[in-house]
Amino acid sequence: MPARRDLDPILEIPSLLPWIILVDVPRDPPDFRYRLIRTGVVARARRDYTGARLSELSHIERGGPLWTDRLEVIETRAPRLTAPSYRGGDDTVRGVSGVHLPLSNDGGSVDMILTFVAYRSPHGHLPGKPSPMNAPAWSDC
């Protein structure tokens, strides 16, 4: 299983940078903390949840799909493709998909999850450039 240090999306997949979410996996109690949410995702959500834990967000249910999808990545230590219901603030979005990839600093337990997000409109994939925002460099995360 790769570690965060093994990846450099800026060099390897720059076109996907706006659609990345990086989540820390605290263990006691099990939770998920948004370490990084890139500009495309923030623009669609109309809010930046960077630094927040899923357990702190009133619209995220423990046992709901956003929680259980990530929990399955931890338990199986394997990637997961998901298509949860979209509840964001962008009325042009008709669906969302995510690929969740486990990351491990020790090669055994998942301590981060890297997610790539894709949004769909009535006409297919939503293209476009997200609005410019100050975002941390990948190396800072």
Q: Which pTM value belongs to this model?
A: 0.82
Q: Is the pLDDT assigned to residue 134 strictly greater than 70? A: no
Calpha distance 85→125 (Å, rounded): 16
Bridge pairing between strands 80-82 and 33-37: unpaired
Kindly report, residue by residue over 24-75, the tens digit of the pLDDT. Answer: 998 878 889 999 999 888 888 778 999 999 889 888 878 888 888 999 999 9
Specify the amino acid at residue 69. D
Residue 131 confidence class, pLDDT cut points 50, 70, 90: very low
The sign of the dihedral angle between the CA atoms of 19, 88, 140, 105 is: negative
Could you tell me the residue ranges of all domains in the chain? 4-10+18-124
Terminal C-alpha separation, the chain: 18
Written out in words, the top-level CATH class of the domain with range 4-10+18-124 is: alpha beta
